[in-house]
Amino acid sequence: MKGRFKTLAVALAASCAAMGAPAVADNHAGPTMNDLLNDANSTGDVLTYGMGPWQQRYSKLNMVNTETVNRLVPVFSASLGGEKQRGQEAQPIVYDGTIYVTGSYSRMFAFDAKTGEKKWEYNARLPDGIMPCCDVVNRGAAIHGDKIIFATLDAHLVALNRETGKVIWNKEIGDYKAGYSATAAPIIAKDMVITGNSGGEFGIVGAVQARDVNTGELIWDRPTIEGHMGTLRGKDNGISGKTNATWEGDLWKTGGGATWLGGTYDPGTNLVYFGTGNPAPWNSHLRPGDNLYTSATVAIDVDTGKIKWYYQTTPHDGWDFDGVNEFIPFDATMNGKKMQLGAKADRNGYFYVLDRTNGKFIGAHKFVMQTTWADGIDQKTGRPNFTSDGRPGAPTGADKGEVVFASPSFLGGKNWMPMAYSQDTGLFYIPSNDWGMDIWNEPIAYKKGAAYLGAGFTIKPIADDHIGALRAMDPKTGKIVWEAKNPAPLWGGVLATGGNLVFTGTPEGYLKAFDAKTGQELWKFQTGSGVVGSPVTWEDGGEQYVAVMSGWGGAVPLWGGEVAKTFKDISQGGSLWVFKLYNQ
């Protein structure tokens, strides 16, 4: 009888092999789409950017908690090495004993999760003419099967073998000579790798692309500027919006709207939600109208690549507020009704809640000290109440226009750094900044590959005791439950856990843990350089681990002016730090 079972097993294995399917699923085959969808519930790995398709950045792990966090100590620190230690904004991916991180200048590393020993390193061959707007950062990777996939500064998407680091496929997503680049972590939905693009300051055209995860071949492309044609499997798939409906003349052809932060995915609605960046140029007087779909959230059908709904947070943006901030799905009861919602803390200083099934406006509340460009959001229409003197003036001839003071600054009430949502407290934890700017408009004309701003600015602090503030926001009421101020701008992501903890980093070099209910600082560790990455947590062998990248950089030291000079002595770096509890 035993021989018959053995013969049957061999026959089944041969049959599966003949059909091109594995006989037995194992870790060697790598994570499947189902594994990625379950990432928010699995605790032994970190398979997606944001720790689940909704990217709530919440883990139910509670071994590290308010009582034990003071025993959190380093397990190892792994250096990215070389001279490229600048702007480490990545979130680690953890799978099968390996930690994958991207580094500045479009690099990828694989480290042993227990020892920190480097397994392999990949360096993209970047041309000399790349034009990244806001430093040489990269925010992370996507994993699927035998592949680890990330974007590069010359606007390519690269799939590497996760065990060897060898290239499986490499696809161009834009022309770097025209100002296109890419820094976001891709997302994966229905075995497609979906990503956006960067380069709004160079007059590119924002878009979202979906590619076959196994081959890299383009499945659909959806521009996020009105008038541009989308494609589906190589055929025209309808233009976005209606040509010249909200753009005058030919300005839509170089309209910006870059989707540079990536998106979130909701399997329930079959939608991906992508934020869109600033319209080009910054000088809003050159482009009357709402300038769709810039400074907005667009919801795109995963199967068809068509925009199902949109919501514009800053119509006719004249301050470079963008709208790329992540749209985080969550479920809640509002006014006695269970609803499928999404939240977004926008660069313009307002926290928005929408119905994620149709984009209907639910509410918006200020989460920063001041918003001089608008005195609120109309709670019926969802449109901002623009102030009469808040927009920089139009240039006259060759002279710049009237200078105005605007708050937040163009670096935003919240920039790229992702917030977290706790399923325990029902609160969002927002890494926010309080600052303003003098801003003015200047004459500008489009030239391929050249900066396309038409504005100047000087960033200024607006408070004596802080710029950064980690704030806990109740999405039902718009109330700020607590805040933890920081002298330097906050520029890193946030993690919430079942241990009633919230983790985030500071430019001063600290990874910190706060009580999720009160905001009390409970623990901190000095990493040696500014922390502008996103922390994650997982368990292995009955122990909980926490990891974060350290390495100062990003837009603040490049664009921050007088504010950046205040923190000019922060050391650069490039290290992965991993922590666990010290057991006495």
User: What is the domain-level CATH number for residue 278?
Assistant: 2.140.10.10
Residue in 354, 352, 366 with CA at minimum distance from that of residue 407: 366
* Residue at 117 is within a domain: yes
Across 409-443, b (16+ Cβ under 10 Å) vs e yields bbbbbbbbbbbbbbeebebbbbbbbbbbbbbbbbb
Looking only at the bridges linking them, the beta strands covering 501-505 and 510-515 are: antiparallel
Q: Each residue of 110-167: pLDDT tens digit? A: 999 999 999 999 999 999 989 988 899 999 999 999 999 999 999 999 999 999 999 9
- pLDDT category at 347 given cuts 50, 70, 90 is very high
Report the domain count for the chain: 1
More confident residue, 427 or 569: 427
Is 3 domain-assigned? no
Q: Is residue 21 part of a domain?
A: no
Residue 13 lies inside a defined structural domain of this protein: no
pTM across the whole model: 0.94
Say if 6 falls within a structural domain. no
In the structure encoding, which two tokens stand for residue 352, read together?
């928005």
61 domain residue, yes or no? yes
Q: How far apart are CA 532 and CA 546, in angstroms?
A: 15
Q: Per DSSP, which regions of 442-554 are E strands?
A: 455-461, 468-473, 480-486, 494-497, 501-505, 510-515, 521-526, 536-540, 543-550
Q: Does 450 map to a domain?
A: yes
| 272 contacts 196 by C-beta, under 8 angstroms | no
pLDDT tens digits, one per residue of 415-461 = 999 999 999 999 999 999 999 999 999 999 999 999 999 999 999 99
Give 178's pLDDT tier (boundaries 50, 70, 90).
very high
- Which tokens belong to 90? 């990545």
Annotated catalytic residue within 135, 320, 322, 434: 320
Query: Mean per-residue pLDDT for 223-243?
Result: 98
320 noted as active-site residue: yes
Supply the range of the domain harboring residue 386. Answer: 27-581
Q: Which residue has the higher pLDDT, 146 or 5?
A: 146
Name the band, by pLDDT with cuts 50, 70 and 90, for residue 168: very high
Residue 403 has pLDDT above 50, yes or no: yes
Mean pLDDT, range 171-185, rounded to an integer: 97
- 158 lies in some domain: yes
Average pLDDT value for residue range 15-35: 62
